[in-house]
Structure 1
Amino acid sequence: MQIGKPPEQAAQIREAETRRLQGDEATLLAEATQVMQDLGYTVSESSAGAGVLAGTKSRDATEAGQVAGAIVMAVLFGAANARWDTDQMIRLTVTTWPEGSAVPLPPGAAPRTVAMRVSFERLIGDNRGMVRHEALNAPELQREFFEKLGQSLAAQGSAV
């Protein structure tokens, strides 16, 4: 394993996380912010000019089976090695970029295609103060986000 090396399937993951939408980039980011908040995330970073939006939410990561297993191992082999997950922070990152020309659209022009990528990851802390990182590449996460975004845009009268 090489630090910083992308996974072998990076291109496929990136494509699964990306949708092409019609509209104004600032409007799409504003609606994505609302969807993020509706999903329980707190916005931690936002830069419409850079096309970046990030949010986090914290959740309990304790699993009874993991704790029970750690206790059994501690009884058998000593309490110094007992370890279990305690909490997790889930991060959602949205990036956008206009496809095609970098020239701003004149007022009243037809909307351009904007690529929007949504990625998820989590940081999991344990009872010993250690933290590990996991990418969350489950397609249902992106699907839920983009479905809610489509509903939000439709309610606003914007094209998806």
Structure 2
Amino acid sequence: MSIDEQINEYIAGQPEPKRADMKELHRIILGLMPKCRLWFLDGRDDSGKIVSNPNIGYGTRTIKYANGNAKEFYQIGISANTTGISVYVLGIEDRKYLAQAYGKSLGKAKVTGYCIKFKTLHDINVETLKAAMLCGIDQTII
């Protein structure tokens, strides 16, 4: 199954209204990053054990580890969770930046170091979410 098919199947498997919100987020992110690499992670580690919720990734960035190793990973990610949706803005060095810069204007969302979690798109300011994602994209362009 192709990555596009996996993404479509994952989104289609969500209950409404989460399904519609995930479709809209997918459309929004592709609008911000039209030629990006798409990722689909099913939440399983190499041994097949479930270690996270499945997630969709957009773009490419390089993670550099202290031991000198490096690997490619996505810049922006989205995932359905039990209470709503999580948007991951990866690669921002300052773990307090997202909350400080965007937290108050996002609306009903919980913002941690790299994650913006909300129940529905109607609960947040989508333009602020776009600005936060663009900030992360700008900081992680290869």
TM-score (structure 2 length as normaliser): 0.35
Bigger RCO (CA 8 Å, 6+ sep): 1
Question: Whose Rg is larger?
Answer: 1
More strand by share: 1
TM-score (structure 1 length as normaliser): 0.32
